[in-house]
Amino acid sequence: MTAKELRSKSTEELQKELLELKDELFKLRFQHATNQLENPQRLGAVKRDIARVNTILREQELKAN
């Protein structure tokens, strides 16, 4: 997921994406705790995606003001 793709989405779509990413991160952490996680690098990727979405939401918020 690139920042360019995210910037083309509306605020509502970004908030929905953020909820989905947080849910995925929760599931990945649970798998990691129970030693069932197959790809530990996915944890970092999801965290970065969450940060990207938060950054773009903040940009949109500042642009609206």
Which tens digit of pLDDT belongs to each residue from 9-38? 999 999 999 999 999 999 999 999 999 999
| Crossing angle of helices 41-64 and 11-33, rounded to 10° | 160
pLDDT for 8 equals 94
As a whole number, mean pLDDT of residues 1-13 equals: 92
CATH 1.10.3720.10 fits 3-64, yes or no: no
Q: Is 1's pLDDT higher than 80?
A: no
Question: At which residue do the structure tokens 């939401």 appear?
Answer: 57
Q: Is 65's pLDDT higher than 90?
A: no
Q: Is 2's pLDDT higher than 90?
A: no
Structure tokens at 18: 């953020």
Q: Is 64's pLDDT higher than 90?
A: no
Please state the domain extents for the chain. 3-64
